[in-house]
Structure 1
Amino acid sequence: MQALLASLLVVVAGGGLLWQATDGGQALTAESARRLAVQRAPQPVSPFALETMSGASAAIPDARGKVALVEFIYTTCPTLCQSAGADMFRLGNRVREAGLADRVTLMSVSFDPEFDTVERMQSYGERHDADGALWTIARPRPDVLPQILSDFGVIAIPDRMGGYTHNVAVHVVTADGRLAAIHDTGDFEGIIAAARKALR
């Protein structure tokens, strides 16, 4: 009987700890915990300048007062970035259908800015039909990249084959520079809803 009570106490204590550690069972990974935290309390991101695939300047937060839908890529990625690029194209179509194209911008930001030249960004953009107006490919200066990745919670680990293992998401950034939501690249409804909320 004592063994049963001890076992029951361990299960209850363990369940309580698991409940607390997973934010009430809502966040089973660090990524989902970060998404919940951002959703509850939008977090400021450091402003940074970008060079786009056309060689023009851009910035996050967007200097034109638009909400930015931001993903992080590298142009030679053979897997995740290719499907994320296809998702960004479809997201652009959804943004237009929702009547938000004049208030939202889409950016695919390279976390390999030394390799991803303007020409390589242009090539990636052409492969995925990025129009350069609603959706552009861009890169930051290498010296500010660590701060950007930290602010956005992006993990990019060299994989010893010339590529990276990395997480993939669309980050919703308000015009005043707050990270307001993080969604899977194919969660178009969730992204559009978060963009609308960020525009309020």
Structure 2
Amino acid sequence: MPILRTLLASTLLLALGGAVLTVATDGFQAFTSETARRLAVQRDPPPVPTVLLETQSGARLDLTELRGRWVLVDFVYTRCLTWCLALGGEFAQLQDQLAAPLADGRLVLLSISFDPVHDTPAELAAYRQRFRGRDHGWIVARPTSTDGLQQLLRTFGVTVVPDRMGGYVHNAAIQVVDPQGRLVLILDAGNPQAVAQTMRGKLP
């Protein structure tokens, strides 16, 4: 009997542990919070909040104005010497690889600064110029309010932590917003060719 009770208890613990692991890993599909976030976005795409931005030209842009187009979004700050440099270079490459849908307005590239106090329109314009980015199809902008910035960071799952040296530590990805204004896909940074191929499959 003691052996039987031990076996039953062990079986119950294994079953419970497996259930917990299944829930914690999203049915064994996700072993990191980032992977879980990407799966959640694909299952239930969140709407992008209505936020007012100021662009590199000083113009005001309501994110709802981009409805009807696909939008590739990244989050940067112009003083960054790591991820943001890589992302800027990738967006410049995407201007070439996706030139046709950018030119006819089916697609927009949008870089959003999470350092709006420092990143004035002049700094935003200089950031894009650093990569020889052209006017058509690539907008660099900053939120006009702290609340708007926080809404965007929450929706897009961007974590920003001051590094105590005047900069920030942050995660990086290229995020896809569909013409209905929903975040539908999160793509890895570092492979603009794969991003371009994914978008060619989605664009009409």
Q: Is the 8 A contact 1:66 1:104 kept in 2?
A: yes
Within 5 Å, which residues of 2 pair with 1:151-162?
Answer: 151-162=155-166
The residue number in structure 1 matching 2:149 is: 145
The residue number in structure 2 matching 1:166 is: 170
CA shift at 1:33, angstroms?
Answer: 0.9
Structure 1: runs of 5 or more not aligned: none
SS at match of 2:39: helix
Q: Equivalent of 2:21, from 18, 21, 28?
A: 18
CA shift at 1:14, angstroms?
Answer: 2.8
SS at match of 2:74: strand
Show structure 1 runs of 4+ deviating over 3 A. 1-13, 61-64, 194-197
Within 5 Å, which residues of 2 pair with 1:129-140?
Answer: 129-140=132-143
**RMSD of aligned residue pairs (Cα, Å):** 2.4
SS at match of 1:46: coil
Query: Structure 1 vs Structure 2: percent identity of aligned residues?
Result: 44
CA shift at 1:194, angstroms?
Answer: 5.1
CA shift at 1:17, angstroms?
Answer: 2.1
For normalisation by structure 1, the TM-score amounts to 0.85
The residue number in structure 1 matching 2:40 is: 37
SS at match of 1:171: strand
Q: Is the 8 A contact 2:67 2:181 kept in 1?
A: no
What is the rounded CA distance, in whole Å, between the counterparts of 1:63 and 1:107 in structure 2?
10
Q: Equivalent of 1:183, from 167, 180, 187?
A: 187
Structure 2: runs of 5 or more not aligned: none
Q: Equivalent of 1:73, from 72, 76, 81?
A: 76
CA shift at 1:59, angstroms?
Answer: 3.2
The residue number in structure 1 matching 2:130 is: 127
Distance change in 2, residues 1:141/1:69 (3 Å): same
SS at match of 2:97: helix
Distance change in 2, residues 1:4/1:195 (3 Å): farther
For normalisation by structure 2, the TM-score amounts to 0.84
The residue number in structure 1 matching 2:198 is: 193
The residue number in structure 1 matching 2:101 is: 100
Q: Is the 8 A contact 2:70 2:107 kept in 1?
A: yes
The structure whose Rg is larger is 2
Q: Give deviations 1:91-139, integer Å, cap 9, x for gaps.
A: 222222xx42221000110001111011111111111222132112111
SS at match of 2:98: helix
